[in-house]
Structure 1
Amino acid sequence: MTGTAGKGLQVLAVDDVAPALDELHRMLLESPGVSDVATAGDPLTALRLLQARHFDAVFLDISMPEMDGMELAALLGRMTDPPVIVFVTAYEEHAASAYGIGAVDYLLKPVGSERLRGALDRVRRFLGAADGAAPEPALVDALAAVPVELAGRTRYVRRDDVRFAEAQGDYVRLHAPSGAHLVRIPISRLEEHWTHAGFVRVHRSYLLAVPAVRELRSDVTGGLLAHTDVGDVPVSRRHARELRERLLDAATRGEFDRGNGRR
């Protein structure tokens, strides 16, 4: 990712609603540290601009025709030198998916100038981290709590309450004492955000909180299971040794008992 030391940010704003795009363009141009702002009224135009030149960041609406902002962001994530993504939307229910895709911020319309400055600060710190500086703690901890939609209501599941996550296509089911909660985020992306918090991949379809493990068991076929208070998690052979080492390390540090006591 190209750094921004000594120069202003090159930003692309994408929104299919012209007045909203004009206002975002104006606010970005008036923001300190932004040297240039291009605009696109649809995702296909945005893709053409991104193929033609480099942008440090893309401020992206979610609800758009032909291709929505989530789909465009997923495409951008496959670029060799992808821009930083900031979503700008009127809908707060997409936050978990947005951070799961790798967005550094999620702005709700109408966007205030102070909130926009905060997002630009995050972009700069993220670009600095990509160039070797220490990562911003707020970015690392973006999914410390995950919003879950159920029957028109939003509730938040704390990462510290989750024992394990189970992949189900583009979703994961978070298993916690409060129940099983379905969230739209790929397990690989959740792993990126939660590895630093003690979660480890133990199976192609499972991400496990190490402190939640009470014991290891064998199933009827001789396979390994990690037992938690909300269920057993299968451990593949290729991950078994790493898990045993992590459990030993956690027990040595006192995290194993402390985690079970808390949970």
Structure 2
Amino acid sequence: MKVLIVDDEPLAREELHYLIQGNSEVTEILEADGIFMAEEQVKSEHPDMVFLDIKLSDGNGMTLAEKIKSFDNSPHIVFATAYDSYALDAFEADAVDYILKPFSAKRVNEAIMRVAKLISPEDDATKAKRELRQNPRISIQNDERTIILQKKQILYVQAQQGFVYIWTLNKHKIISRQTLTNIYDQLKSPEFLQIHRSFIVNLNGVTELQPSFNHTYELTLIDGSKLPVSRSYVNTTKKALGL
């Protein structure tokens, strides 16, 4: 995200710059010391977000905010000022946030994250998938039962002839008619990796990777199981194992 700081006080710009640069959402920080320079920056650099002071040496930040709204792909505005009496005006100007000097890292980061969510809103489906993957447990349909299993107990998963077989660290096998894709959606995390169209493995259970035939590989697991790594998954498997 590209951010523009507009303030006629060098120390205020420096302070904001320092606080903003610590946020991983921000890729570039621009600065302007007044209305004219800020307008030119918005037109030429197309920032995603503007931290805008209200009382500037060459004009009023509120006026600039209203003007910016008419631009194509106008940036999101966050008023950053020493004056608390303009909050209502800021709301009417469609500002995303209103923060007061002296700035705190917490409030600056909150403002940035609000804009980040507006730029890349997380839809319900994406949110549901993220929460599912963060869950330490997995739900497995087994006939009319639902088995709840800790993800870390799973050693590998195999799809075969319309069934999915979940093998645990204690060598217990659970059979389900769920698809491999459905299981992987629940498991997907740095610990689990698809290595073949029919296999998902817990990387923490891998003890050896060795070449097989026709540019494929084979994984050996802590229980002695050997799983195929197909050619299309070799590079991602090596990378995941730090090779």
Give me the TM-score of the superposition, normalised by structure 2: 0.49
Structure with greater helix share of residues: 1
TM-score of the two chains, using structure 1 as the length reference: 0.45
